[in-house]
């Protein structure tokens, strides 16, 4: 049993790596930071005695992506794909170079789609497999912070649900994992210091352990769209019910971004 996890050098991806290793999987993990990947691999080898293969590279690099696609096409022992790699943007779309939103399209969407396209035929033949796409609650509603991040996650969630409608007949489980604010390095990279990463009203922060717990539990129950945390689920239900005109009035100009 092998689990292939993108963006496993830190945060949620590293926790997925630990969890699948604890469940008896060997791993293939990817990311750009070789030293971080080595650290995760060493920890897993020591704690769980599993084999960990590292593939270093940028998912926006077509050559690296092609190498991973080839690996997935030709490795029938890979039964789990976790498309987790992701990033936020420091600048708003209207003031950023177009290359940065492009990077989100490449990493969140193009890479995830190519990797799924590579592995699904084999999973279909074997009538078995699991695909987890790490999306976000940001995909459920517009925000003033950044239009590209939420829109790519909305795409990823809808894409995953649409795949579920067909792949469940082939024994393949797909999941769109939609975490809310999670303590990783993600927000610090965007300029939000750790001390500002605090609960605000219904907006709660959570840990990578709880996020991955929710994902693993949902694999058993077959839930396709997974929102970890009761308050996050409640907030998303409220957002869906609020008329858009009122929602816009509340959200206009509200941004987590430092301008
Ligand atoms: N933290 C949150 O509040 C939160 C909430 C909802 C959803 N998410 C989603 O959760 C996923 C994991 O994020 P995280 O919070 O765990 O943050 P993180 O610790 O920064 O992890 C992001 C991972 O993605 C990899 N990555 C980023 N850009 C890449 C690129 N161009 N090529 C290859 N790998 C790349 C990073 O590896 P390298 O830097 O080594 O390349 C890292 O392993 C992301 O998809 C994110 O959108 C996070």
d(CA 7, CA 253): 31
Cα 68 to the chain's mean position, in Å?
17
How far apart are the CA of 221 and the centre of ligand 1, in A?
26
Torsion of CA 109, 112, 115, 119, to 10 degrees: -120
Ligand 1, atom 41: nearest CA belongs to which residue? 32
Per-residue pLDDT of the chain (259 residues; tens, 9 = 90+): 999 999 999 999 999 999 999 999 999 999 999 999 999 999 999 999 999 999 999 999 999 999 999 999 999 999 999 999 999 999 999 999 999 999 999 999 999 999 999 999 999 999 999 999 999 999 999 999 999 999 999 999 999 999 999 999 999 999 999 999 999 999 999 999 999 999 988 889 999 999 999 999 999 999 999 999 999 999 999 999 999 999 999 998 777 654 4
How far apart are the CA of 155 and the centre of ligand 1, in A?
17
Across the beta sheet with 2-5, the strand order is 52-56, 26-31, 2-5, 78-83, 129-134, 172-177, 225-226
CATH of domain 2-251: 3.40.50.720
Ligand 1, atom 23: nearest CA belongs to which residue? 7
102-157 tens-digit pLDDT = 999 999 999 999 999 999 999 999 999 999 999 999 999 999 999 999 999 999 99
d(CA 205, CA 225): 19
pTM of the model: 0.97
Cα 107 to the chain's mean position, in Å?
10
pLDDT at 203: 81
222-240 tens-digit pLDDT = 999 999 999 999 999 999 9
Render the chain in DSSP notation, one character per residue. -EEEESS-SSHHHHHHHHHHHHTT-EEEEEES-HHHHHHHHHHHHHHH---EEEEES-TTSHHHHHHHHHHHHT-TTEEEEEE------SS-GGGS-THHHHHHIIIIIIIHHHHHHHHHHHHHHHT-EEEEEE--GGGGS--SS-HHHHHHHHHHHHHHHHHHHHHGGGTEEEEEE---SBSSSHHHHTT--GGG---BTTB--B-HHHHHHHHHHHHHHT-SEE--SHHHHHHHHHHHHS-HHHHHHHHTT--SS--
pLDDT at 256: 62
pLDDT at 259: 43
Regarding the beta carbon of 58 and ligand 1, being less than 6 Å apart is answered: yes
With 0-12 / 13-18 / 19 or more C-beta atoms within 10 angstroms meaning exposed / middle / buried, residue 145 is middle
Among 5, 6, 11, 215, which residue has the most ligand 1 atoms within 8 Å of its CB, making it the best to mutate?
Answer: 11
Which of 218, 170, 156, 15 has the alpha carbon at shortest distance from 27? 15
Among 7, 58, 210, which residue has the most ligand 1 atoms within 8 Å of its CB, making it the best to mutate?
Answer: 7
How far apart are the CA of 164 and the centre of ligand 1, in A?
24
d(CA 194, CA 203): 16
pLDDT at 253: 77
Among 19, 87, 137, which residue has the most ligand 1 atoms within 8 Å of its CB, making it the best to mutate?
Answer: 87
Active site members: 149
Q: Which residue has tokens 């539990």?
A: 217
How far apart are the CA of 63 and the centre of ligand 1, in A?
20
Atom of ligand 1 nearest to the CA of 134: 45
* Domains of the chain by residue range: 2-251
d(CA 127, CA 170): 5
Regarding the beta carbon of 228 and ligand 1, being less than 6 Å apart is answered: no
């Amino acid at each position: 049993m092998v689990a292939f996890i993108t963006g496993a050098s830190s945060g949620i991806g590293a926790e997925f790596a630990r969890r699948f290793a604890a469940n008896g999987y060997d791993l293939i993990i990817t990311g750009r930071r070789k030293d971080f990947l080595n650290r995760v691999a060493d920890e897993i080898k020591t704690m769980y005695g599993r084999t960990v293969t590292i593939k270093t590279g940028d998912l926006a690099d077509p050559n690296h992506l092609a190498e991973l696609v080839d690996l997935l096409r030709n490795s029938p022992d890979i039964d789990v794909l976790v498309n987790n790699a992701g990033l936020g943007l420091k600048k708003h779309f209207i003031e950023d170079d177009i290359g940065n939103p492009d990077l989100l399209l490449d990493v969140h969407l193009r890479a995830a789609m190519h990797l799924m396209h590579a592995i699904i035929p084999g999973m279909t033949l074997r009538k078995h497999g699991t695909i987890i796409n790490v999306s976000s609650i940001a995909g459920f509603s517009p925000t003033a912070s950044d239009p590209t991040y939420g829109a790519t996650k909305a795409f990823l969630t809808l894409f995953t649900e649409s795949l579920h409608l067909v792949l469940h007949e082939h024994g393949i489980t797909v999941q769109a994992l939609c975490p809310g604010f999670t303590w990783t390095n993600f927000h610090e990279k965007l300029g939000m210091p750790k001390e500002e990463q605090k609960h605000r009203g219904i907006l709660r922060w959570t840990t990578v352990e709880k996020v991955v717990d929710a994902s693993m539990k949902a694999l058993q129950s077959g839930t396709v769209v997974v929102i970890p945390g009761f308050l996050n689920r409640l907030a998303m239900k409220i957002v869906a019910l609020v008329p858009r005109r009122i929602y816009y009035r509340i959200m206009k100009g509200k941004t987590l971004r430092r301008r």
